[in-house]
Amino acid sequence: MANIKESLCVHLDQLQGGETQEIEFNVSPEFLDVQENDGFLAKHPVQIEGQAYIAEDYLVLDFNIETAITLACALCNTEFELPVELHHFLHEEALKDIKKKKFNFSDVVREAIILEIPFYPLCGGKECLHRGEIEKYLKKENIEETHSPFADLE
Ligand SMILES: [Zn+2]
C-alpha cells in the first residue's frame, strides 16, 4: 500500500512555465493510514480529482474529494456511513518547503477528510435514528426514580 501513497504526488518539473496538471485518482483508502484514535473508519475508495498549478511562490492544489467514512453515532453508538464530498478544496504549499521538486499530497487529503468529521456525529445526519428508543428508556428510568405521579397534588 506504500505504493498508492507514493503515487499521490505532484512533480514540480511538470508545472514549470504555467502548466496545469490534471489530477485524477481513485484509490484504496488504506493510504489514509487510519489509526484507532482518529475516530473514523475508511472502507471506501477515495476519489481525488482536480488540478495542480504554480501561482507565484506556491504550489496550488484545487481538489474535489469524494469518499465515505464510517463513524459511530454519539448517541446510540451505531456505525453509519458519512458521505464526504468536498468541492474545490484548496491547498497552498510554499515552493521553498517542497523537497526534491515532488509534493506528496496524501496528508493534505487525509486532513481534508478528517476536518469533515462532525464534533457530534449522529447516525441520521442531523438526528439519531434510534433516539426514540433511547428516550423511551431514559424516560422510564426518570419516572421511576424521580417523578411520583402524586407529587404535584400536594
Ligand atoms: Zn444514533
Q: How many angstroms is it from 119 CA to the middle of ligand 1?
A: 14
User: Mean pLDDT throughout 27-46?
Assistant: 94
Residues with CB in 5 Å of ion ligand 1: 73, 75-76, 123, 128, 130
pLDDT digits (tens, 9 = 90+) for 97-145: 999 999 999 999 999 999 999 999 999 999 999 998 888 887 776 655 5
Whole-model pTM? Answer: 0.83
Residue 66 pLDDT greater than 70, yes or no: yes
Structural contact between residues 58 and 98, judged by C-beta atoms closer than 8 angstroms: no
Cα distances (angstroms) measured from residue 35 to each of 39, 44, 64, 83, 102: 8, 16, 24, 19, 26
